Structure 1
Amino acid sequence: MDVVDNDVLSSIIGDIYDCVLNRDGWSSVLTRITQTMDAAYTTIALASASDNHGRFAAQSPWDPERMRALQDYSFDDIPGLKAAVVGDIDTPVSTLSLMPESELQKTPFFQKWAGPQGLREGSIVKFVHTPDRIGLLGCTTLADRPIISAEDQRFLALLSPHLRRAAMIGDLLDDVRVMADLFRESLENLVAPVVLTDATGSVLHANASAERMFATGGPILRQGRTVQAQNPLMADALLQAIASAASDLSVGAKGIGLPVSAVGQPPAVAYVLPLTDGTARAAFRPACAAVFVSTTTSASPLPEAVLTTLFELTPAQARVLMSAGKGLNPSETAASLGISENTLKTHLKRIYAKTGTSRQADLVKLVSDIATPLTTV
């Protein structure tokens, strides 16, 4: 980057403050930062001060699958990230200022994630650091771009205090909202139909698979705003199950399974689960029950979907739980998922905390409890 153009800088800063009132503008702001930096993409991320994983609040356009995979890496896995986290506020850190490029290119992160996408290095500035959260702005460059310069760093440093003020004014990085957005995205990527309802069975959210199910006439229908079983004998039972899940969270991982297909139709089970007071309810308030529909053609991903909804796991944590739940030892689990044993330990620590368990035997029982009714149609 040449010397920062004051007009461009002022314009971007103005856009940052505009996002306090219009949060949808963040993607555009980050795209402008990306263009000014001649970068590949830019992200704003939130990390809990007690956690070593970040969650993107917003990003400029980049491969969404790759970006989701990036969030499975911890601070220790990404070269240079931990230095930014523990370093001074408003002080950018670039990867190649910390290590030679030859060393960077030997890291598992570069070989598995950055290198295959034609990326070179990143520059990260910490703009928020409070007792409960850390805010990070990061730009990542392409391989054919020169290394990040002092002027590039200065540009990010000038943006940092304005990002902090915007965060303080508009709570840009509210962790509940960020996780709610991730939860919504996870539901949309599920093959299984998922319908979230209030206590009376009114549909508050249906993922794409569920919308297709409604459009093709079952096995769960939407009559007006309310879910209805294709099997008329199960109509009242389905609504009663939803009311029970909404009022009695003790149904837990067992849930309530109901045969909902009409006579002569392919077998299907509606699996009704409560939504705990957390991400799911924050994302879809006042939703309090989730209805998963298991059929002969769409049941395979359902156990992971149930785990994600019940315990608010990330996709990576759900995969670890499913593998550990098969009774594999740590080495086998790590190998099957293509991750290190240290990363596995980090995932398991969070899984134990979220599921209220403390050992692998508990996870095996948990997965068995959930999988059994889902595979019995």
Structure 2
Amino acid sequence: MERLSSEVLGSIIGDIYDCVLNPEGWAGVMTRITTAMDAAYTTIALASTADNHGRFAAQSPWNPVQMRVLQDYDFDAIPGLKTAVIGDVDTPVATLSLMSEAELGQTAFFQNWAEPQGLREACITKFVHTSDRIGLMGCTTWADRGIISAEDQHFLALLSPHLRRASLIGDLLDQARVTASLYRQALDNLAVPVVLAGANGAILHANGAAERMLSAQGPILSRNGLLQAQNPAVARALLEAIASAANADASLGARGIGLPVSAPGRPPAVAYVLPLTEGTARAAFRPACAAVFISTTTSASPLPEAVLTTLFDLTPAEARVLLRIGSGLSASKSALSLGIGENTLKTHLNRIFAKTGTRRQADLVKLVSDIGTPLAAH
């Protein structure tokens, strides 16, 4: 089996989703990623943006003393870290794609820490960025390994949205951890609303919190027994995510992560879709194909750009353009605020029209308005 084959990718993704129910599995996932990447070690962390307080962290086995020393380096001292943090989600940043080997060798971090440990470079991927959370995965390679390739980075980019989904859903369950022997009982006792759905979105089971939402006709709805959202575009994206979850873990990608299911003018509510695959710990919930978790925590709302990339498969650059145009800015003012030329903006706009099924800028203003929170707050 090839190191970065689709079979390896799919298997690791399955293990990632099992960590929602069993967080002790994260260390094993990091070990598997390390092996696939032919790396020295891999780390993952989800932290609060307010105080850098860790919500969870895991790593593959490595030198524990040096890992503690690594924590002493500040944000700007680690090559590539700042670029990854301020960059786009799901976009791996390899150290040697930012600077030459000679330039890296001149940094104090490399001379004092990486080189003495026989290490070469790192690749950092931001997999979560919400108003109160940031998640980073880092892979660090040995000195005798080749530079991190485009294929390596593509592999990590494909893993990133699955890490995001699993970590955010797992975060919802921190106060009421589901255990192997009490899956369904624990589900019904969760304060977080959870709906178990079939491949077509049919509601097979809703816990008490979800039942109350359905009875109140919002923010989630039941129409002819199918799970629905208030906004048609969101409702379509939700059903597509559930259908993808039913097919295979790997095909789900960024669909169904942080979908805004609240109606305009109503308190924010966000949906996360977790695939329930046969032959895994999650299979305890079968015959349901997906578990839909609803978060009503205001701070859990995804960033506006993330909502648009999820709903319409936009690139981050296209999402930024849509937010400007959708807020009512003219094309010239939007281009100026984004620091791009008007021709570039027109190119983005044409792609946005095609992906959203719209034709005019006025249609985009209505589209953003109809989605409501969290876009309305932008």
Task: Tell me: higher relative CO, structure 1 or 2? Use CA pairs within 8 A at least 6 residues apart.
Answer: 2
What is the TM-score of this pair, normalised by structure 2?
0.44
Larger radius of gyration: 1
